[in-house]
Amino acid sequence: MVEVDALVALQAQYDKLKRRQARNERAHFARGLMQGIMSMLKPGDVVLDCGANIGEVTEPLAATGATVHAFEPDPYAFEQISRRMQGVENVVLHNAAVAVEAGKLRLMRAVNFDDNPKAGSVKSTLIAGARNINEQDGIEVDVIALPDLIRDVAGKHGEVAFLKMDIEGAELDLLEQMHTDRLFDLVRLTVAETHENKFADLRPRFADLRAAVAEAYPITHVNLDWI
């Protein structure tokens, strides 16, 4: 019995190390991709940073001279990014979430948000069912219809130069709608972090989405492995 328990513990440790390695590999890839993205952007381009949080991605995007629309619904994170980007004229901040339709939705925070708001704010989500999220309380936030915005920007500027999406599960509905409506065709490069590991019930839909997008677009046009 002791040997079995030891083997189980070793397997669990091995699985944890594999997950950590996979995360590190994705992080290295994302950093390299970010350098490529920055090299393609220029003044006059329009960028949409959905799930901007405290501005870790917004700031380097703005340094390219492109106009960056940054969307962040969590009040804590929005205050931080507002301070960070104060005086940067080519950044337009929106204290709002993005979804298929405009309106108002309830934003739920991590259970440990009060203990560590900086780390907790990256987990804030509009989608119920995630691990370690306080679903009893929530904050009503404004929501902008991203499909309409993409069409509007593309109509005025010819395309959206870059779309980054890291919105803690809410990306599933949006990416499905974008694929159905062929809105990816209006964006030079879309990157998104998908959160199927946080939403077990949604994993089959995420798998179907990934397969459909991979069949329709090269990874240089739509990349769902952002981190």
pTM attached to this predicted model: 0.88
pLDDT per position as a tens digit, 189-201: 999 999 999 999 9
Q: Would you state the pLDDT for residue 123?
A: 93
125 to 47, 72, 76, 83: CA distances (angstroms) = 22, 11, 14, 23
Most confident of 2-16, 116-130, 178-192: 178-192
Q: Would you state the pLDDT for residue 36?
A: 85
Q: Is the pLDDT of residue 177 over 60?
A: yes
Mean pLDDT of the chain: 92
Fold of 42-223: Rossmann fold (3.40.50)
Q: Is the pLDDT of residue 13 over 90?
A: no
What average pLDDT does range 124-146 have in this prediction? Answer: 94
- Sorted by where each begins, the domain ranges of the chain are 1-40, 42-223
Q: Would you state the pLDDT for residue 19?
A: 65
Buried b (16+ CB within 10 A) or exposed e, 125-164: bbbeebeebeeeebeebebbbbbebbeebbeeeebbbbbb
Which own/partner contact pairs does 107-112 have at CB distance under 8 Å and 24+ positions apart?
107/73, 107/74, 107/138, 107/139, 107/140, 107/141, 108/133, 108/134, 108/135, 108/137, 108/138, 109/74, 109/133, 109/134, 109/137, 109/138, 109/139, 110/134
